[in-house]
C-alpha cells in the first residue's frame, strides 16, 4: 500500500499583496480543480491511497467528491483551528501514519509550516500563487505523477528529492537557546514593531535579509539576492544582505511584488556560513519568516539564526519525470 498525504492551504494566495500589487488571486475552486488533477496523476502511476488534511474551505472535501479514480481516499482525524497550526499538525500526523510523500498546495508559508511538522517525509510543493519561491509552478497532473513516482520508489529518492536548507530561529531565555521557528527561503528584519498584516511588502521597513535561496527568477525578497549573488537550493551556503536607503548608494532593481520593481539599497552582501550563529539585536523589530512577520522583539531581546542542510527532502518534478522517461517507467510494451 502506497499512501500519499495532501495538504491544501485555503488561505494561500489571498494575503495583502493581492491588494497592493498585481499578484494573482487564487480561488478555492481553482485549488479544487488543481487538487483533482494531482490525484489523477498519483493514481495514474500506481499510488493506492491519499490521506488528506480537512480544511475550513472544504477544498479537499470538494476535490474528492464524486471521484472516479480507483484510489482510496481518507481524511485525517484532527481538529481544524483555521491557522498554520492545522498544517503543522497534519504534517506530524501524516508522518506518524506512514505516508511516503506529502503534496502541498500553497506558498512559501505553507511549506514552512509543513517543515515545522516534519522534515523527514519528501514533499512535492505545488505553487498556488505568484509570490512563491519554494514551491514549483507546474501543472497538477505532472506534479501528481512526479510525487507518485517517488512515493512508489520507482526512482532514487536522494537524486530526485534532495534535502533542502532551512534557517532555524532561536531565542535566548535564561542562558538557554530555545528554537522558536523555522524558515525555508528568507528571514527579514523589519523595523515595524508589530506583526500587523504579517506580509512583507514595503522594503523601506526592512534592514536585513537572510536567504537560504536567492533566485533571480523569483518574486519577493529572494529576488534581491538572486539579482546580485544567486544561490540555488542545492548550494550549501546562504546569503546575508544589509539593506540601505537607495539614495546614492549601491542598489538593485528587484521585483518585490508582482508588477512592482523597486530600487533596493544594498549596504553589504556576504555569504551565510552553514551552522554559524547569526545574532540579531536590532530591537524593537519584527522577524518575518518566508515573507510574513511572525516574531516581535522588544527592547533587549535577541534572536540567533542558524542555516543548516537538514530541511525536508523536496521532489524536483522536472528531474523526476525526465528520469522516468529515460528509464521508460511508464512505457508498457
Does pLDDT of 227 surpass 70? yes
Helix (H, G, I), strand (E, B) or coil at 232: coil
Q: Are residues 35 and 81 in the same domain?
A: yes
* Mean pLDDT, rounded, for 57-64: 92
Range name among 98-107, 245-254, 309-318 with the lowest pLDDT average: 245-254
pLDDT digits (tens, 9 = 90+) for 182-223: 999 999 998 876 554 456 667 888 999 999 999 999 989 999
| 332 belongs to a structural domain | no
| 303 belongs to a structural domain | yes
Q: How large is the greatest C-alpha to C-alpha distance in the chain, in angstroms?
A: 69
Q: Are residues 118 and 172 in the same domain?
A: no
The pLDDT of residue 121 is 98
Q: Are residues 242 and 257 in the same domain?
A: yes
d(CA 40, CA 67): 10
d(CA 129, CA 289): 17
Half-sphere exposure of 288 (CA within 13 A, CB side): 32
d(CA 302, CA 283): 8
The pLDDT of residue 50 is 98
d(CA 63, CA 65): 6
Q: Are residues 116 and 62 in the same domain?
A: yes
Q: Are residues 147 and 182 in the same domain?
A: no
Global pTM value: 0.91
Q: Are residues 98 and 175 in the same domain?
A: no
Does pLDDT of 310 surpass 70? yes
Q: Are residues 28 and 104 in the same domain?
A: yes
| 128 belongs to a structural domain | yes
Helix (H, G, I), strand (E, B) or coil at 139: coil
Domain span at 16: 3-164+313-326
pLDDT digits (tens, 9 = 90+) for 66-110: 887 789 999 999 999 988 999 999 999 999 999 999 999 999 999
Q: Are residues 262 and 115 in the same domain?
A: no
Nearest to 294 by CA among 281, 285, 283, 304: 285
Contact 209, 243 (CB under 8 A): yes
Q: Are residues 173 and 140 in the same domain?
A: no
Q: Are residues 54 and 117 in the same domain?
A: yes
Q: Are residues 264 and 318 in the same domain?
A: no
Q: Where residue 208 sits, what CATH number does that domain have?
A: 2.60.200
Instruction: State the total domains in the chain.
Output: 2
Q: Are residues 178 and 52 in the same domain?
A: no
Strand 72-75 relative to strand 49-52: parallel, antiparallel, unpaired?
A: parallel
Does pLDDT of 175 surpass 90? no
Contact 7, 53 (CB under 8 A): yes
Instruction: Name residue 261's beta-bridge partners.
Output: 255
Amino acid at each position: 500500500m502506497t499512501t500519499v498525504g495532501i495538504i491544501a492551504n485555503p488561505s494561500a494566495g489571498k494575503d495583502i499583496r493581492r491588494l497592493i500589487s498585481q499578484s494573482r488571486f487564487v480561488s478555492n475552486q481553482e485549488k479544487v480543480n488543481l487538487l483533482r488533477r494531482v490525484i489523477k496523476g498519483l493514481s495514474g502511476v500506481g499510488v493506492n491511497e491519499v490521506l488528506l488534511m480537512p480544511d475550513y474551505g472544504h477544498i479537499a472535501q470538494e476535490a474528492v467528491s464524486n471521484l472516479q479514480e480507483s484510489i482510496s481516499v481518507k481524511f485525517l482525524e484532527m481538529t481544524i483551528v483555521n491557522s498554520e497550526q492545522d498544517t503543522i499538525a497534519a504534517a506530524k500526523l501524516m508522518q506518524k501514519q506512514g505516508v511516503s510523500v506529502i503534496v502541498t498546495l500553497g506558498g512559501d508559508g505553507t511549506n514552512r509550516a509543513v517543515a515545522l511538522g516534519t522534515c523527514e517525509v519528501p514533499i512535492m510543493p505545488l505553487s498556488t500563487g505568484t509570490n512563491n519561491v519554494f514551491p514549483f509552478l507546474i501543472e497538477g497532473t505532472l506534479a501528481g505523477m512526479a510525487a507518485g513516482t517517488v512515493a512508489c520508489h520507482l526512482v532514487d529518492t536522494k537524486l530526485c528529492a534532495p534535502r533542502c536548507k532551512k534557517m532555524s530561529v532561536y531565542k535566548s531565555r535564561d542562558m538557554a537557546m530555545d528554537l522558536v521557528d523555522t524558515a525555508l527561503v528568507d528571514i527579514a528584519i523589519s523595523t515595524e514593531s508589530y506583526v500587523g498584516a504579517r506580509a512583507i511588502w514595503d522594503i523601506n521597513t526592512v534592514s536585513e535579509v537572510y536567504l537560504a535561496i536567492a533566485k533571480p527568477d523569483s518574486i519577493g525578497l529572494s529576488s534581491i539576492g538572486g539579482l546580485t549573488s544567486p544561490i540555488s537550493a542545492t548550494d550549501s551556503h546562504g546569503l546575508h544582505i544589509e539593506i540601505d536607503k537607495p539614495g546614492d548608494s549601491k542598489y538593485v532593481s528587484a521585483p518585490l511584488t508582482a508588477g512592482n520593481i523597486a530600487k533596493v539599497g544594498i549596504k553589504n552582501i556576504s555569504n551565510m556560513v552553514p551552522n554559524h550563529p547569526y545574532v540579531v539585536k536590532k530591537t524593537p523589530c519584527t522577524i518575518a519568516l518566508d515573507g510574513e512577520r511572525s516574531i516581535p522583539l522588544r527592547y533587549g531581546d535577541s534572536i540567533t539564526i542558524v542555516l543548516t542542510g537538514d530541511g525536508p527532502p523536496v521532489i524536483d518534478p522536472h528531474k523526476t519525470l525526465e528520469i522516468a522517461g529515460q528509464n521508460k517507467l511508464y512505457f508498457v510494451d
